Amino acid sequence: MKISLFDKSLKRKFYDVLSVISLVISFVLIFFDIPSKYKVISGGVFVGLLIVIYISMWIGANRTKKLNIRINSSNIEIREGDLFKEDGLKVIAFDEYLDTELGNRGAVTEHSINGQYLKNVCEDISALDARMDENEHLNRHIYAVRPREEGMKEKKFLLGTIHQEGDYLLMAFARLDKYNRSFLNMKDYARCLIRMWNECDIIYQGEDIVIPLLGAGLTRFKNNDRITEQELLELLLWTFRTCHFRINSHAKLKIVLTKDTIKRINLCAIEEQFAE
The answer to whether residue 169 is domain-embedded is yes
Number of structural domains, the chain?
Answer: 2
CA distance 171 to 184: 14
- Looking at residue 61, its amino acid is A
Helix (H) or strand (E) holding 210: strand 209-212
Query: What residue numbers bound the domain in which 29 lies?
Result: 8-63
Do 94 and 162 meet the contact criterion of CB atoms below 8 Å apart? no
Note whether 37 and 111 are same-domain residues.
no
Which of 16, 47, 63 is the endpoint of a domain?
Answer: 63
Note whether 37 and 141 are same-domain residues.
no
Note whether 59 and 94 are same-domain residues.
no
Which of 36, 63, 90 is the endpoint of a domain?
Answer: 63
Sign, Cα dihedral of 84, 214, 218, 273: negative
The answer to whether residue 3 is domain-embedded is no
Note whether 178 and 234 are same-domain residues.
yes
Instruction: DSSP letter for 120, please.
Output: I
The answer to whether residue 142 is domain-embedded is yes
The answer to whether residue 53 is domain-embedded is yes
Sign, Cα dihedral of 99, 101, 105, 109: positive
Per-residue pLDDT of the chain (276 residues; tens, 9 = 90+): 677 888 888 888 888 888 888 888 777 767 777 777 777 777 788 888 888 888 888 888 788 889 999 999 999 999 999 999 999 999 999 999 999 988 666 678 888 899 999 999 999 999 999 999 999 999 999 989 888 777 788 899 999 999 999 999 999 998 888 777 888 888 899 999 999 999 999 999 999 999 999 988 666 777 656 788 999 999 999 999 999 999 998 999 999 999 889 989 999 889 888 876
Note whether 177 and 149 are same-domain residues.
yes
Query: What pTM was computed for the model?
Result: 0.84
Do 220 and 181 meet the contact criterion of CB atoms below 8 Å apart? yes
Which CATH number is 199's domain given?
Answer: 3.40.220.10
CA distance 157 to 140: 9
Q: Residue 153, Cα to own-chain centre: how many angstroms? A: 29
The answer to whether residue 1 is domain-embedded is no
Note whether 163 and 243 are same-domain residues.
yes
Helix (H) or strand (E) holding 31: helix 8-31
Which of 25, 45, 63 is the endpoint of a domain?
Answer: 63
CA dihedral 249, 169, 86, 240 (to 10 degrees): -40
CA distance 269 to 272: 5
Counts for the chain of helices (H) and strands (E), in that order: 9, 11
The answer to whether residue 2 is domain-embedded is no
